[in-house]
Chain A
């Protein structure tokens, strides 16, 4: 039990506890803030796994983008100080049973599989990501890159069109 594994378990407890609070707390704004902490914890986990680029992307896009978007939409559509209606007891118990069994079976499979992890060092160079992302050779990712750019353009135009206020014709 060295300091690295202690840090890992602290990060794990942080992610899971804030995640549980994000889906159970009664006020919607608090739920968004707990989700923010959970996403920050996941970024910390990426830093712990030494994939700094993904951690930076996680902080920029999730914490800086999606959470801000969610908070704005809460302010546009909700009375954020009010308690949300609690789920019924029957619904809570059946959901707890469903996720309990689901988690137990899934983790049993994972635990019994026995992954044989190699001991090769893993290092992530950002230059390698850039080269492989834009290379047109066999293991390049240029086609998904272009498809994603089209998808983002479509999402941009689509969300503007959906959320646009339609002008009523004047009579």
Chain B
């Protein structure tokens, strides 16, 4: 178990974070942008759990932070999808380039 150094797990989470960033930069559809945000949040969760397991095994703080991040991510996804559906109802598109109603 301890043969895998911590930096390898951090490699996964860093790579996943930047994969999410790539999707965030290149996608133009709001739902796919939301998926990229989910990837980014998951990479943060991996970081918290790995730090808790490897560096502070006597505490449980990282596990608690992960639980709270997961619940906040669920709330965020619900609100974001409500906004997307409302936007689709008024604009008939969820493309970020066409949602320019709030521009001055």
Interface of B is mostly: helix
**Chain B min CB distance to A139 (Å):** 8
Q: Which residues of B contact A4 (CB under 8 A)?
A: 1, 3-4
The docked-state distance in angstroms from the alpha carbon of A34 to that of B64 is: 28
> A10 contacts the other chain (Cβ, under 8 Å)?
no
The answer to whether B2 and A66 have CB atoms under 8 Å apart is no
Size band of the interface chain B makes with A: 35 or more
Contact B70 A61 (CB under 8 A): yes
B4 lies within 8 A of A163 (CB):
no
Least distance between A82 CB and chain B CB atoms (Å):
11
Known interface pairs A51-B63, A58-B70. Does A102 touch B18 (Cβ–Cβ under 8 Å)?
Answer: yes
The answer to whether the Cβ of B55 comes within 8 Å of any Cβ in the partner chain is yes
What is the interface of chain A mostly: helix, strand, loop, or mixed?
helix
> Which residues of chain A are within 8 angstroms of B96 by Cβ–Cβ distance?
none
A165 CA to B90 CA in the complex, in Å?
A: 11
Would A132 and B86 be within 8 Å (CB), given that A23-B39, A117-B55 are in contact? no
Q: Is the CB of B31 within 8 A of A78?
A: yes
Q: Verify A73–B39 contact, CB threshold 8 A.
A: no
Which of A51, A148, A151 has the most chain B CB atoms inside 10 A of its CB?
A: A51
Please indicate the chain B residues that have their CB under 8 angstroms from the CB of A141 in the complex. Answer: 64
Complex alpha-carbon distance, A144 and B70, angstroms: 13
Q: Are A120 and B23 in contact (CB under 8 A)?
A: no
User: Which of B11, B21, B34 is the one whose CB lies under 8 Å from A107?
Assistant: B11
Q: Are B28 and A151 in contact (CB under 8 A)?
A: no
In B26-85, which residues have CB < 8 Å from any A CB?
26-29, 31-32, 34-36, 38-39, 42, 45-46, 49-50, 52-55, 57-58, 60, 63-64, 66-68, 70-79, 81-85
Q: List 15 A-B contacts (CB under 8 A).
A: A4-B3, A15-B16, A19-B19, A49-B50, A50-B1, A61-B70, A70-B31, A73-B81, A84-B27, A99-B25, A117-B2, A144-B64, A156-B78, A159-B81, A162-B86
Interface residues of A (CB under 8 A from B): 2, 4-5, 8, 12, 15-16, 19-20, 22-24, 28, 31-32, 35, 38-39, 42, 45-46, 49-51, 53-54, 57-58, 61-62, 65-66, 69-70, 73-74, 76-78, 84-85, 87, 91-92, 94-96, 98-99, 102-103, 106-107, 110-111, 115, 117-122, 124, 128-129, 132-133, 141, 144, 148, 151-152, 154-156, 158-160, 162-163, 165
Extra 4 A-B pairs, beta carbons < 8 Å, given A19-B15, A23-B27, A110-B11: A23-B23, A77-B31, A144-B64, A159-B78
